Amino acid sequence: MTPLTFAAVDQAQHTLNAVLTKARFWQRWAATPLNERQAKLLNQLLDGFEGKLTSSKWAATAKCSPDTALRDTNDLLTRGLYVNRTRVDVAPAIS
């Protein structure tokens, strides 16, 4: 195989892993009721949200108030749908 072929196979494997991770997450939490903002947040995190998530960033993305964004994220944290990796940086609970 050429280096270009290796790169293509590597990229395909990376994409497949991301798709399967996202599918497993949604299968695990399929019975959990979410509002549209929460589902959007989780999808963005699963798709590789870059940087630190803050309630003001999330409020701008979801087009809601910072208080609503904070309630949404706190609800997801409380229910275990995502976990703090640091004080601000969060990730979906995929395990």
70 burial level (CB within 10 Å; 0-12, 13-18, 19+): middle
Kindly report the pTM of this predicted structure.
0.74
**5 to each of 11, 19, 36, how far by Cα in Å?**
10, 21, 40
**Which residue range is the domain that position 83 belongs to?**
3-92
What are the tens digits of pLDDT across the range 58-76?
899 899 999 999 999 889 9
92 SS3 class: strand
Condensed to tens digits (0 to 9), the pLDDT of residues 29-48 reads: 899 999 999 999 889 888 88
Q: CATH no. for residue 24?
A: 1.10.10
When divided into structural domains, the chain yields a total of 1
